[in-house]
Amino acid sequence: MKVLAINSGSSSIKYELFDMRSCATLASGLLERIGDSAGRQSYRLHNSDGSIDEQVEDVAVKDHQAGVNRIASWLAESGAIGNASELVGIGHRVAHGGAEFTQPTVINEQVLAAIRRLIPLAPLHNAANLRGIEVTRAQWPDIPQVAIFDTAFHHTIPVHAHQYALPADLAQAHTIRRYGFHGTSHKYVSEEAARLLDRPLNEVNLIVLHLGNGASATAVCGGKSIDTSMGMTPLEGLMMGTRCGDVDPGVILHLTRATGMSVAEIDALLNHESGLKGICGDNDMREVLRRADDGDSQATLAVEMYAYRIKKYIGAYAAILQGVDAVVFTAGIGEHSAEIRERACSHLEHLGIHLDADKNSAEKQGSFAIHSADSKIKIFVIPTNEELEIAKQTLHCLGENPS
Ligand code: ADP
């Protein structure tokens, strides 16, 4: 019983094939720079003894159709999919489900039309996701396909938290509200945290910090999202690699008046030139930390600002949750940077958050705890696995049982 998870970007397709009985990865890969003459593809076959055979090739892939065609051929040739009947479903990541998609949804023509209607809310992402779905359906017309929305986990955010203080009629007419993103990751690590706490998910309160290139914090109450830092778009909230996060909207008005910048220029500025990159010129946290270690003052400031914003959200979410069982760090920076975790949790003992420096700096695989014995609130590092969550939700949505 196999499920393929697909994440189609504007110029890339990432995929992972799972055996759903064991949740083991069987094959995975990435096609990059689709449409460019300098394309690249990597394939990984995950063997049952834990070893991985990897191939990387420079290859020009004309378009998404050609890309999915290659993936299908390789999955068949490598034996990862012996015969098509082993594949019970294909799950697609879709960035924006608007207010209408609150659950994984089997894809049909109406669902495709709805995803298309939502393109204005996430122009780059939804259009690319849609392209991936269309070509995958053409490739495997007989395999059921499911859309897994990044926004769905946040549909439980109450109206007082998802509404912006704008004229209500205008907001409604333009579907302006907080939707939140990274939902697949927040859901996956929340379930893992409940398992580590040995408590049912519907009894746990968590502050989940997804710190990757994009970053978001979520307040999880009884297993459900009740607030999250990203808003109508992924620009709001924490400071990110190249996105600004929270900024006074008056700054944008000021910029348009003072510089005459166009909407497209301001869009590029806030999405691609801000965040860590805006402060110190680098958007890769490893490089920013390395420069800060060497005494670079702008890199040091970027690190301080980044951790300060996380701390502010921890405080805000501790206030609204009225009791927190665990703070959870995930994604590239959350999983790997002891320094950012240490800075974000420092001086929070008055809230019951007490990090153990030795546990925090121990390099470990998998999930691990980094709080001290006397910490009221537990602190976990939990590797996210959005692809596995997509595959699990796909199977569940199709009513299939892995056992
Ligand atoms: P994406 O959001 O694209 O999936 P990731 O979750 O892989 O991104 O996170 C990417 C970020 O994680 C980058 O800023 C990278 O520098 C950072 N990162 C990865 N490993 C480390 C590390 N060992 N220390 C600090 N930052 C790291």
Q: Ligand 1: distance of its center to the CA of 84 in Å?
A: 35
Distances (CA, A) of 173 to 25, 145, 166, 168: 44, 31, 12, 9
The structure tokens listed for 297 are 């003052």
> Angle of helix 285-293 relative to helix 338-345, nearest 10 degrees?
80
The pTM of the full predicted model, rounded to 2 decimals, is 0.95
Q: What is the pLDDT, as a whole number, of residue 131?
A: 95
Catalytic residue among 150, 227, 282, 325: 150
Give the distance (Å) from ligand 1 centre to CA of residue 385.
14
Instruction: Name the one residue in this structure whose structure tokens are 């500025």.
Output: 269
Coil, helix or strand at residue 300: helix
Strand, coil or helix: 378: strand
> pLDDT tens, position by position, for the chain (403 residues)?
999 999 999 899 999 999 999 999 999 999 999 998 888 999 999 998 889 999 999 999 999 999 999 999 999 999 999 887 899 999 999 999 999 999 999 999 999 999 999 998 888 889 999 999 999 999 999 999 999 999 999 999 999 999 999 999 999 999 999 999 999 999 999 999 999 999 999 999 999 999 999 999 999 999 999 999 999 999 999 999 999 999 999 999 999 999 999 999 999 999 999 999 999 999 999 999 999 999 999 999 999 999 999 999 999 999 999 899 999 999 999 999 999 999 999 999 999 999 999 999 998 889 999 999 999 999 999 999 999 999 999 999 999 877 6
CB 390 within 8 A of CB 152: no
Protein residue whose Cα sits closest to atom 23 of ligand 1: 336
Beta strands in 145-242 (DSSP E): 145-149, 206-211, 215-221, 224-228
* Ligand 1 atom closest to 214 (CA): 2
Q: Report the b/e string of 267-302 with b at 16+ CB within 10 A.
A: eebbbeebbbbbbbebbebeebbebbeeebeebbeb
**What is the whole-number distance in angstroms between the Cα of residue 335 and the centre of ligand 1?**
8
For the question of residue 374 being annotated catalytic, the response is no
Nearest C-alpha to atom 22 of ligand 1 is from which residue?
336
Cα(399) to ligand 1 centroid in Å equals 35
Which atom of ligand 1 approaches the CA of 283 most closely? Answer: 14
Ligand 1 atom 27, closest CA: 333
pLDDT computed for residue 75 by the predictor: 92
Task: Report the pocket of ligand 1 as residue ranges, CB < 6 Å.
Answer: 212-214, 241, 284-286, 289, 331-333, 336-337
- Chain center to CA of 18: 19
Q: How far apart are CA 186 and CA 108, in angstroms?
A: 27
Question: DSSP assignment, residue 350?
Answer: G
Are 223 and 154 in contact, with CB atoms under 8 Å apart?
no
Per-residue pLDDT, 402:
76
CB atoms within 10 A of CB 99: 13
